[in-house]
Amino acid sequence: MAPLDAFTPHLKKVPSTEEESMVNAVVSLVGLSYSADFLETHQDLVQSLANVWPAIFKWLVLLNDEGFPSASGIECPGCAEWSVELAARLWLWDKFDTPHTAPIPEYIGGTAALVACFEVAKSPRALAQRITKMKDVDHVKLVTLALNRVSSAATVWYDDETGCEATEYLLDVINQLTSIPEMWAAFLNAQSVLSLTLALRSLCTY
């Protein structure tokens, strides 16, 4: 039995609110989230995990609806080349609630996962290009969402460490997206200079 087989069978099942299935799914997701270091030295297992990502995404949606928002922070270590579209959808689907003392993934798990994809990718620009080519992603809405979120992180959470981390993550995402000429133009057309300047100022004064 392959090491990841202890987790993936539970996630291949059709998502269900049945208690045992949900517990198995959550435990499996947590187990996979701790596999990053292991997968770095066992690249032969990465593809098998990437193949399960569509099923993992369905579980993440269900778990979020059932009150497990932090589940969106689960990443697919080493799977950036295969999973960036799923990570992008997690990011678009992320919820920015009023913060309180809690780990950062509870609020911006999708953002953290997307940043992780860019960090481990051999060509971050190629991943950004794939996001912009997703059929169900409108560039204007993508830009508006990114700017609204970075503004919230820099103002609503201004004096909170969580806000500082959120701002850094979001600026990283925007930086990667603007490596694509059409996205660069879209951000400029959205008058992003002021929003990004205020976000950078919030980091300097934290």
The pTM of this model reads 0.61
Are the C-beta atoms of residues 198 and 140 closer than 8 Å to each other? no
pLDDT per position as a tens digit, 79-122? 545 567 767 876 777 665 554 444 444 445 667 777 777 877 77
pLDDT of residue 67: 61
Radius of gyration of the chain (CA): 17
- Residue 172 pLDDT > 80: yes
pLDDT of residue 180: 93
pLDDT of residue 55: 82
pLDDT per position as a tens digit, 62-79? 776 666 644 444 545 445
Please state the rounded mean pLDDT for residues 150-171.
73
pLDDT of residue 185: 93
pLDDT of residue 156: 64
pLDDT of residue 162: 63
- Residue 27 pLDDT > 60: yes
What value does the mean pLDDT of the chain take? 75
Distance, first Cα to last Cα, the chain: 49
Residue 2 is encoded by which pair of tokens?
A: 């392959």
- Residue 179 pLDDT > 90: yes
**Which residues touch 131 (CB under 8 Å, ≥6 apart)?**
84, 85, 88, 137, 142, 177
